[in-house]
Amino acid sequence: MIDYVSALSIDFGLIVPEITVLVTSFVVMMLACSKKVSSWSSTVTLVGYVLALWFTTRQWGHQGSGFADMVTCDNFGIVFKAIFIVASIIVVFLGHRYLRVKGLHRGEYYALMLVSTLGMMVMANSSDLIVLFLGLEIMSVPLYVMAGMYRRSLESNEAGIKYFFMGAFSTAFLLLGIAFIFGASGTTNLRSIVTDFSYIANSFPVYLYAGVALILIGFGFKVGTVPFHTWVPDVYQGAPTPVTAFFSVAPKAAGFAALLRVFVYGFSEVTILSDVFWVLAVLTMTVGNLLALRQDNVKRMLAYSSISHAGYILVALVVGGADAVAAAIFYLVAYTMFNLGGFGVVTLLETRSGCKSEFNELRGLSKTNPYLTATLALFMFALSGFPPTVGFIGKFYIFSAAMQSGFVWLTVIGVMNSFVSVYYYLRVIKTSFFDEAEGTPVPAVLSPTIIIALVITAVGTLGLGLFPQQLLQLSQAAIFGMP
């Protein structure tokens, strides 16, 4: 008998959070079978997420790899897993009432969300390109369904189909890239690729560069960098708003986890990548911001804004190195907070009947919901990067990492882009505070769940802005555990 358990170093201790999320998704799916208990699904989902978060934090500081070196448990992955879980918890709170109002509150929604989170966690933990691909697929397939969940809305159907086609297309690129890398190196393991890099680069440069380029395109689609961003606005606008909130944060963070792991750790010696990322970052920031200027729909504006934020995070990939990775993680945590907050307010406003989140519908909001409008203003200030919010600190770390490595022009372009973005974020504040509504405005009804979501995100946005030290230390400790 072969002792393959130790030969392949199968160690279930490494994937306890993942198993927790998987089991929870089964339980929720089971609840969804019966009409009587399906309303419990959100509570069970929350319990599962909190348990998974607890198990994840318990892993902090422990390093190890297992499953034939395909799974690596390190602080980098743990921080990202925590980001996914926290974002999911906020989305559960944020979507509860919206889904009930629209008749979408079903166990399947939560089960799909859990499976998608599981995929992200697998992505963040993988040290092998095949496992990375597997995680990406586990993450993406539920997302396609979630985008098209609102079956009676044509826009939602369109979003689902569009996302599916673009996602399938980008996956093909990624897989072909992995195949090229395997052809050049004979392995899909990132650690082996790093060890044998100079041999691979000297023997098969064409396959190596083709593979790296294709993998970059595949992930470029997933995180929505220009020129692979065309699906983002339609999908974000068409999908149910809580789903959009989830899209804009969790899969994006997962995509960046994979990008950082593959390109900052795996292919760090491909020097041309820095220039490629320079172009991508500048394009993504600029195109995202310029197109956001002309939007009349808040959801669509936030979609373009999320493209431009991806551009800021790409700056970290241009710079490379531990400081830039820490800055990127800090920015992703910050972005999770204020972007979910922004989408939370939009979700709340959309529970009013007939609301399509056009800019016009924000008029007179400060008269009917003064506190809500103030919260919205806070998130908009954070998105545009005003101090003392965490948006400012996040941008500061990213651009100071770029400056220290001598990327002066990149920093200048980034800061200029920040200025441009102020226009459309402040337009939200201006419309909701100073414009008079036509007719009597309908107040938005707050529910306890959305209040929880908004309080978490507002406290995060302001608190991490005032006391960023702890989070900065955390993200600096989030290093790759792969020597």
Partner 1 sequence: MSEYLAVLLFAVAGIGIVLITFGISRLLRPHNPYPEKNVTYECAEETVGPSWIQFNNRFYIFALIFVIFDVEAIFLFPWAVAFGQLGLFALVEVTLFLMILFFGLFYAWKKGVLKWV
Among 11, 16, 29, 368, interactor with partner 1 by CB under 8 A = 29
Q: Is 473 in the site for partner 1 (CB under 8 A)?
A: no
Q: Can you name the residues that pair with 65 across neighbouring β-strands?
A: 72
Q: How far is the CB of 33 from partner 1 (least distance, A)?
A: 4
Q: Are 465 and 385 in contact (CB under 8 A)?
A: no
H-helix segments, 385-447: 390-404, 408-434
d(CA 417, CA 286): 6
> Which C-beta is closer to partner 1: that of 25 or that of 357?
25
> Which C-beta is closer to partner 1: that of 142 or that of 311?
142
Query: Quick one: which segment of 32-40, 288-296, 359-367, 444-452 binds partner 1 (CB under 8 A)?
Result: 32-40
**Type and span of the H or E element at 132:** helix 129-147
Query: Quick one: which segment of 31-39, 156-164, 350-358, 365-373 binds partner 1 (CB under 8 A)?
Result: 31-39
Q: Which residues contact 424 (CB under 8 A, 6 or more apart)?
A: 289, 292, 293, 295, 301, 305
Q: How far is the CB of 86 from partner 1 (least distance, A)?
A: 27
Count residues near partner 1 (CB under 8 A).
Answer: 10
Q: Is 1 in the site for partner 1 (CB under 8 A)?
A: yes
Q: Can you name the residues that pair with 126 across neighbouring β-strands?
A: 71
Q: Is 4 in the site for partner 1 (CB under 8 A)?
A: yes
Q: Is 34 in the site for partner 1 (CB under 8 A)?
A: yes
Q: How far is the CB of 193 from partner 1 (least distance, A)?
A: 24
Q: Cβ–Cβ contacts within 10 Å for residue 467, how many? A: 12
Q: Is 5 in the site for partner 1 (CB under 8 A)?
A: yes
Query: Quick one: which segment of 29-37, 160-168, 384-392, 456-464 binds partner 1 (CB under 8 A)?
Result: 29-37
d(CA 432, CA 435): 6
CA-nearest of 87, 43, 79, 45 to 61 is: 79
Q: Cβ–Cβ contacts within 10 Å for residue 266, how many? A: 24
Q: Is 33 in the site for partner 1 (CB under 8 A)?
A: yes
Residue type at 290 in one-letter notation: L
Q: Are 113 and 146 in contact (CB under 8 A)?
A: yes
Q: How far is the CB of 2 from partner 1 (least distance, A)?
A: 6
Q: Looking only at residues 159 through 188 of this chain, which bind partner 1 when binding is defined by CB under 8 A? A: none
> Which C-beta is closer to partner 1: that of 21 or that of 464?
21
Q: How far is the CB of 103 from partner 1 (least distance, A)?
A: 17
Among 13, 26, 294, 322, interactor with partner 1 by CB under 8 A = 26
In whole angstroms, how large is the CA radius of gyration of the chain? 22
Could you give phi then psi for residue 151, rounded to 5 degrees? -65, -25
d(CA 460, CA 340): 11
Q: What is the DSSP letter of 262?
A: I
Q: How far is the CB of 70 from partner 1 (least distance, A)?
A: 16
H-helix segments, 39-128: 41-59, 75-101, 107-125
Q: Is 2 in the site for partner 1 (CB under 8 A)?
A: yes
Count Cα atoms within 13 angstroms, Cβ side, for 59.
30
Q: Is 145 in the site for partner 1 (CB under 8 A)?
A: no
Residue type at 365 in one-letter notation: L
> Which C-beta is closer to partner 1: that of 38 or that of 336?
38
Q: How far is the CB of 91 from partner 1 (least distance, A)?
A: 23
Q: How far is the CB of 1 from partner 1 (least distance, A)?
A: 5
> Which C-beta is closer to partner 1: that of 33 or that of 206?
33
Site residues, partner 1 (CB under 8 A): 1-2, 4-5, 26, 29-30, 32-34
